[in-house]
Amino acid sequence: MLTHLQPSSAAPGRVVILGAGGFVARALATRLTASGIPVVAVPSRQIDLAAAEAGPALAALLQAGDAVVMTSALTPDKGRDAATLMKNLRMAESVAAALAARPCAQLVYLSSDAVYDWRHPLVAETTAPSPTDLYSTMHLAREQLLGAATVAAKVPFCILRPCAVYGPGDTHNGYGPNRFARTALAEGKIKLFGGGEEMRDHVFIDDLTAVIELTLRHRSTGTLNVVSGRSTSFAEVAAQIAARCPKPVAIEPQPRGGPVTHRHFDPSALLRAFPQHRPTDLASGLPRLLATP
Protein backbone atom coordinates (compact mmCIF):
# COMPACT_ATOMS: atom_id res chain seq x y z
CA MET A 1 0.00 0.00 0.00
CA LEU A 2 1.23 3.46 -0.83
CA THR A 3 0.90 6.80 0.88
CA HIS A 4 1.26 9.83 -1.33
CA LEU A 5 3.24 12.55 0.44
CA GLN A 6 2.39 14.77 -2.53
CA PRO A 7 -1.33 14.23 -3.22
CA SER A 8 -1.24 16.46 -6.31
CA SER A 9 1.06 15.34 -9.09
CA ALA A 10 4.25 17.40 -9.37
CA ALA A 11 7.41 16.66 -11.30
CA PRO A 12 10.46 15.90 -9.14
CA GLY A 13 13.36 18.33 -9.48
CA ARG A 14 15.77 15.67 -10.72
CA VAL A 15 15.75 11.89 -10.89
CA VAL A 16 18.92 9.86 -10.42
CA ILE A 17 18.57 6.42 -12.00
CA LEU A 18 20.95 3.76 -10.71
CA GLY A 19 21.68 0.79 -12.92
CA ALA A 20 21.04 2.97 -15.94
CA GLY A 21 22.28 0.44 -18.46
CA GLY A 22 19.44 -1.97 -17.74
CA PHE A 23 16.18 -2.64 -19.52
CA VAL A 24 13.89 -0.88 -17.07
CA ALA A 25 16.26 2.02 -16.40
CA ARG A 26 16.65 2.87 -20.06
CA ALA A 27 12.93 2.84 -20.64
CA LEU A 28 12.41 4.92 -17.51
CA ALA A 29 15.00 7.51 -18.54
CA THR A 30 13.33 7.83 -21.93
CA ARG A 31 9.93 8.28 -20.34
CA LEU A 32 11.01 10.83 -17.74
CA THR A 33 12.97 12.83 -20.27
CA ALA A 34 9.94 12.92 -22.54
CA SER A 35 7.95 14.21 -19.56
CA GLY A 36 10.44 17.04 -19.12
CA ILE A 37 11.93 15.65 -15.92
CA PRO A 38 15.72 16.07 -15.60
CA VAL A 39 17.42 12.68 -15.41
CA VAL A 40 20.88 11.70 -14.26
CA ALA A 41 21.52 8.19 -15.54
CA VAL A 42 24.19 6.36 -13.56
CA PRO A 43 25.29 3.09 -15.16
CA SER A 44 27.52 0.58 -13.39
CA ARG A 45 30.46 1.58 -15.53
CA GLN A 46 30.24 5.07 -13.97
CA ILE A 47 29.67 3.94 -10.39
CA ASP A 48 30.01 0.26 -9.59
CA LEU A 49 27.77 0.12 -6.56
CA ALA A 50 29.36 -3.16 -5.49
CA ALA A 51 32.75 -1.47 -5.16
CA ALA A 52 34.06 -0.23 -1.81
CA GLU A 53 34.22 3.45 -2.79
CA ALA A 54 30.74 3.52 -4.36
CA GLY A 55 28.94 5.09 -1.39
CA PRO A 56 31.01 8.30 -1.26
CA ALA A 57 31.02 8.50 -5.06
CA LEU A 58 27.26 8.35 -5.18
CA ALA A 59 26.91 10.81 -2.30
CA ALA A 60 29.08 13.28 -4.19
CA LEU A 61 26.68 13.08 -7.10
CA LEU A 62 23.46 13.49 -5.12
CA GLN A 63 21.62 16.75 -4.45
CA ALA A 64 19.16 17.28 -1.63
CA GLY A 65 16.14 17.55 -3.94
CA ASP A 66 16.92 14.42 -5.95
CA ALA A 67 14.69 11.41 -6.21
CA VAL A 68 16.74 8.23 -6.59
CA VAL A 69 15.47 5.19 -8.44
CA MET A 70 17.51 2.06 -7.80
CA THR A 71 17.11 -0.48 -10.56
CA SER A 72 20.61 -1.97 -10.18
CA ALA A 73 20.78 -5.70 -9.61
CA LEU A 74 22.67 -8.72 -10.77
CA THR A 75 19.78 -10.82 -12.07
CA PRO A 76 19.71 -14.64 -11.81
CA ASP A 77 21.14 -15.02 -15.30
CA LYS A 78 24.33 -13.37 -13.93
CA GLY A 79 24.54 -15.88 -11.11
CA ARG A 80 22.49 -17.50 -8.38
CA ASP A 81 25.34 -18.11 -5.92
CA ALA A 82 26.38 -16.58 -2.62
CA ALA A 83 28.94 -14.32 -4.30
CA THR A 84 26.20 -12.74 -6.45
CA LEU A 85 24.02 -12.33 -3.38
CA MET A 86 26.78 -10.53 -1.50
CA LYS A 87 27.56 -8.26 -4.46
CA ASN A 88 23.91 -7.31 -4.68
CA LEU A 89 23.80 -6.57 -0.97
CA ARG A 90 26.92 -4.42 -1.22
CA MET A 91 25.13 -2.34 -3.88
CA ALA A 92 22.34 -1.61 -1.43
CA GLU A 93 24.88 -0.91 1.31
CA SER A 94 26.51 1.70 -0.96
CA VAL A 95 23.16 3.38 -1.60
CA ALA A 96 22.45 3.35 2.14
CA ALA A 97 25.84 4.97 2.85
CA ALA A 98 25.20 7.62 0.21
CA LEU A 99 21.79 8.46 1.67
CA ALA A 100 23.28 8.72 5.15
CA ALA A 101 25.83 11.21 3.86
CA ARG A 102 23.49 13.07 1.52
CA PRO A 103 19.77 12.54 2.27
CA CYS A 104 17.59 13.11 -0.78
CA ALA A 105 13.89 13.69 -1.47
CA GLN A 106 12.87 10.09 -2.17
CA LEU A 107 14.22 6.61 -2.84
CA VAL A 108 12.33 4.26 -5.13
CA TYR A 109 13.61 0.70 -4.99
CA LEU A 110 12.80 -1.70 -7.80
CA SER A 111 12.33 -5.01 -6.02
CA SER A 112 10.61 -8.09 -7.42
CA ASP A 113 7.57 -10.29 -7.00
CA ALA A 114 10.11 -13.03 -6.33
CA VAL A 115 9.93 -12.10 -2.64
CA TYR A 116 6.61 -13.97 -2.48
CA ASP A 117 6.43 -17.72 -2.15
CA TRP A 118 5.29 -19.41 -5.36
CA ARG A 119 2.74 -21.38 -3.38
CA HIS A 120 0.53 -18.31 -2.95
CA PRO A 121 -2.02 -18.56 -5.77
CA LEU A 122 -3.20 -14.98 -5.34
CA VAL A 123 -0.70 -12.40 -4.20
CA ALA A 124 -1.42 -8.97 -2.74
CA GLU A 125 0.71 -6.49 -0.86
CA THR A 126 -0.64 -8.01 2.35
CA THR A 127 0.84 -11.39 1.41
CA ALA A 128 3.82 -12.01 3.68
CA PRO A 129 7.10 -12.15 1.74
CA SER A 130 8.70 -15.56 1.92
CA PRO A 131 11.84 -15.81 -0.23
CA THR A 132 12.66 -19.23 -1.62
CA ASP A 133 16.12 -18.68 -3.16
CA LEU A 134 19.12 -16.36 -2.90
CA TYR A 135 17.77 -13.96 -5.54
CA SER A 136 14.48 -13.40 -3.74
CA THR A 137 16.32 -13.32 -0.40
CA MET A 138 18.51 -10.60 -1.87
CA HIS A 139 15.55 -8.41 -2.81
CA LEU A 140 13.89 -8.78 0.57
CA ALA A 141 17.18 -8.13 2.40
CA ARG A 142 17.74 -5.04 0.26
CA GLU A 143 14.23 -3.81 1.05
CA GLN A 144 15.00 -4.17 4.76
CA LEU A 145 18.46 -2.66 4.49
CA LEU A 146 17.29 0.34 2.50
CA GLY A 147 14.21 0.66 4.70
CA ALA A 148 16.37 1.04 7.78
CA ALA A 149 18.70 3.46 5.99
CA THR A 150 15.87 5.67 4.75
CA VAL A 151 14.28 5.78 8.20
CA ALA A 152 17.60 6.89 9.68
CA ALA A 153 18.14 9.46 6.91
CA LYS A 154 14.46 10.56 6.94
CA VAL A 155 14.13 9.84 3.23
CA PRO A 156 10.68 8.77 1.89
CA PHE A 157 11.01 5.19 0.66
CA CYS A 158 8.95 3.39 -1.95
CA ILE A 159 9.30 -0.30 -2.82
CA LEU A 160 7.91 -1.49 -6.15
CA ARG A 161 7.61 -5.22 -6.75
CA PRO A 162 6.95 -5.80 -10.44
CA CYS A 163 6.06 -9.21 -11.78
CA ALA A 164 7.39 -10.48 -15.13
CA VAL A 165 8.18 -7.43 -17.27
CA TYR A 166 8.18 -7.63 -21.07
CA GLY A 167 8.56 -5.18 -23.90
CA PRO A 168 10.96 -3.75 -26.47
CA GLY A 169 14.58 -3.41 -25.37
CA ASP A 170 14.70 -6.25 -22.86
CA THR A 171 18.32 -7.17 -22.16
CA HIS A 172 17.45 -10.51 -20.58
CA ASN A 173 16.32 -13.57 -22.41
CA GLY A 174 14.12 -15.05 -19.74
CA TYR A 175 11.39 -17.57 -20.45
CA GLY A 176 8.31 -15.65 -21.50
CA PRO A 177 7.10 -13.08 -24.05
CA ASN A 178 10.50 -11.58 -24.85
CA ARG A 179 12.20 -14.89 -25.63
CA PHE A 180 9.10 -16.17 -27.41
CA ALA A 181 9.04 -13.10 -29.66
CA ARG A 182 12.74 -13.33 -30.49
CA THR A 183 12.73 -17.02 -31.38
CA ALA A 184 9.44 -16.73 -33.23
CA LEU A 185 10.79 -13.98 -35.46
CA ALA A 186 14.33 -15.34 -35.83
CA GLU A 187 13.80 -19.09 -35.91
CA GLY A 188 10.10 -19.50 -36.59
CA LYS A 189 9.55 -21.46 -33.39
CA ILE A 190 8.67 -21.07 -29.72
CA LYS A 191 9.81 -23.64 -27.18
CA LEU A 192 7.32 -24.25 -24.38
CA PHE A 193 7.97 -26.18 -21.21
CA GLY A 194 5.33 -28.90 -21.07
CA GLY A 195 2.10 -27.55 -22.43
CA GLY A 196 2.85 -24.02 -21.23
CA GLU A 197 0.05 -24.31 -18.70
CA GLU A 198 1.62 -22.01 -16.12
CA MET A 199 -0.37 -18.82 -15.55
CA ARG A 200 1.65 -15.65 -15.12
CA ASP A 201 0.94 -11.93 -14.90
CA HIS A 202 2.97 -10.14 -17.59
CA VAL A 203 3.57 -6.40 -17.17
CA PHE A 204 4.39 -4.26 -20.18
CA ILE A 205 7.51 -2.14 -19.71
CA ASP A 206 5.64 1.11 -20.29
CA ASP A 207 3.25 0.24 -17.47
CA LEU A 208 6.13 -0.23 -15.07
CA THR A 209 7.80 3.05 -16.03
CA ALA A 210 4.43 4.80 -15.82
CA VAL A 211 3.97 3.57 -12.26
CA ILE A 212 7.51 4.62 -11.34
CA GLU A 213 6.82 8.09 -12.73
CA LEU A 214 3.60 8.28 -10.71
CA THR A 215 5.42 7.32 -7.49
CA LEU A 216 7.93 10.08 -8.23
CA ARG A 217 5.26 12.65 -9.01
CA HIS A 218 3.37 11.84 -5.80
CA ARG A 219 6.46 11.19 -3.66
CA SER A 220 4.85 7.94 -2.65
CA THR A 221 6.01 5.78 0.25
CA GLY A 222 5.19 2.17 1.03
CA THR A 223 5.09 -1.03 -0.97
CA LEU A 224 3.24 -1.73 -4.19
CA ASN A 225 3.10 -4.67 -6.56
CA VAL A 226 3.27 -3.53 -10.17
CA VAL A 227 1.01 -5.96 -12.01
CA SER A 228 -1.60 -6.09 -14.72
CA GLY A 229 -4.06 -8.07 -12.60
CA ARG A 230 -4.71 -10.58 -15.39
CA SER A 231 -2.74 -13.79 -15.63
CA THR A 232 -2.29 -15.66 -18.89
CA SER A 233 -0.76 -19.06 -19.59
CA PHE A 234 2.56 -19.26 -21.42
CA ALA A 235 0.72 -21.33 -24.03
CA GLU A 236 -1.71 -18.48 -24.65
CA VAL A 237 1.13 -15.94 -24.84
CA ALA A 238 2.94 -18.16 -27.33
CA ALA A 239 -0.22 -18.58 -29.40
CA GLN A 240 -0.85 -14.84 -29.46
CA ILE A 241 2.74 -14.14 -30.56
CA ALA A 242 2.63 -16.85 -33.22
CA ALA A 243 -0.63 -15.47 -34.57
CA ARG A 244 0.96 -12.02 -34.96
CA CYS A 245 4.15 -13.13 -36.70
CA PRO A 246 4.44 -12.60 -40.45
CA LYS A 247 5.66 -16.16 -41.05
CA PRO A 248 4.39 -19.48 -39.61
CA VAL A 249 5.65 -20.25 -36.10
CA ALA A 250 5.95 -23.76 -34.66
CA ILE A 251 5.22 -24.12 -30.95
CA GLU A 252 7.46 -26.91 -29.67
CA PRO A 253 6.83 -28.59 -26.31
CA GLN A 254 9.93 -29.25 -24.24
CA PRO A 255 10.33 -31.50 -21.19
CA ARG A 256 9.24 -29.66 -18.09
CA GLY A 257 11.86 -29.20 -15.37
CA GLY A 258 9.55 -28.80 -12.42
CA PRO A 259 5.93 -28.89 -11.34
CA VAL A 260 3.34 -26.56 -12.86
CA THR A 261 2.97 -23.39 -10.79
CA HIS A 262 0.60 -20.48 -11.28
CA ARG A 263 0.71 -16.91 -10.11
CA HIS A 264 -2.06 -14.34 -9.97
CA PHE A 265 -2.03 -10.87 -8.47
CA ASP A 266 -4.71 -8.77 -6.85
CA PRO A 267 -4.30 -5.35 -8.53
CA SER A 268 -6.63 -3.53 -6.12
CA ALA A 269 -3.88 -1.66 -4.28
CA LEU A 270 -2.42 -0.43 -7.58
CA LEU A 271 -5.86 0.69 -8.78
CA ARG A 272 -6.42 2.52 -5.51
CA ALA A 273 -2.97 4.11 -5.46
CA PHE A 274 -3.16 5.33 -9.03
CA PRO A 275 -6.76 5.34 -10.28
CA GLN A 276 -5.64 6.90 -13.55
CA HIS A 277 -3.29 3.99 -14.35
CA ARG A 278 -4.53 1.78 -17.18
CA PRO A 279 -2.60 -1.49 -17.55
CA THR A 280 -1.70 -2.54 -21.09
CA ASP A 281 -3.24 -5.86 -22.06
CA LEU A 282 -1.34 -8.46 -24.07
CA ALA A 283 -3.35 -7.68 -27.19
CA SER A 284 -1.86 -4.19 -27.13
CA GLY A 285 1.57 -4.97 -25.70
CA LEU A 286 2.61 -7.93 -27.83
CA PRO A 287 2.42 -6.10 -31.19
CA ARG A 288 4.71 -3.41 -29.76
CA LEU A 289 7.10 -6.08 -28.54
CA LEU A 290 7.12 -7.79 -31.94
CA ALA A 291 7.74 -4.48 -33.69
CA THR A 292 11.03 -4.06 -31.76
CA PRO A 293 11.87 -7.36 -30.05
- 275 lies in the binding site for other proteins (CB under 8 A): yes
Question: Where does this chain touch other proteins (CB under 8 A) — which range of 43-51, 55-63, 120-128, 236-244?
Answer: 120-128
d(CA 220, CA 209): 15
CA nearest to 143, candidates 68, 184, 89: 89
By CB under 8 A, is residue 267 in contact with other proteins? yes
Verify binding: residue 285, other proteins, rule CB under 8 A. no
5 binds other proteins (CB under 8 A): no
122 interacts with other proteins by CB under 8 A: yes
Cα–Cα distance between 197 and 63 in angstroms, integer?
49
Q: Which stretch binds other proteins (CB under 8 A): 62-70, 135-143, 166-174, 265-273?
A: 265-273
- The rounded distance, in Å, linking the Cα atoms of 7 and 2 is 11
Number of residues in contact with other proteins under rule CB under 8 A = 15
Q: Is 278 in the site for other proteins (CB under 8 A)?
A: yes
Q: Where are the alpha helices (DSSP H) in 16-130?
A: 23-34, 54-61, 82-101
Nearest 10 degrees: Cα torsion 49, 142, 154, 17: 40
Q: Which of 197, 162, 124, 153 is nearest to 23 (CA)?
A: 162
Exactly one of 151, 272, 287, 291 binds other proteins (CB under 8 A); that residue is 272
Residue closer to other proteins, measured from CB, 57 or 271:
271
Asked if 230 touches other proteins (CB under 8 A), the answer is yes
Binding to other proteins, residues 56-115 (CB under 8 A): none
Q: Which is nearer to other proteins, 124 or 141 (CB)?
A: 124
Q: Is 288 in the site for other proteins (CB under 8 A)?
A: no
Q: What angle, rounded to 10 degrees, do the helices at 205-217 and 23-34 form?
A: 60
Q: Does 236 bind other proteins (CB under 8 A)?
A: no
List helix spans (H) across 188-248: 205-217, 234-244
Give the binding site for other proteins (CB under 8 A).
122, 124, 126, 229-230, 266-268, 271-272, 275-276, 278-279, 281
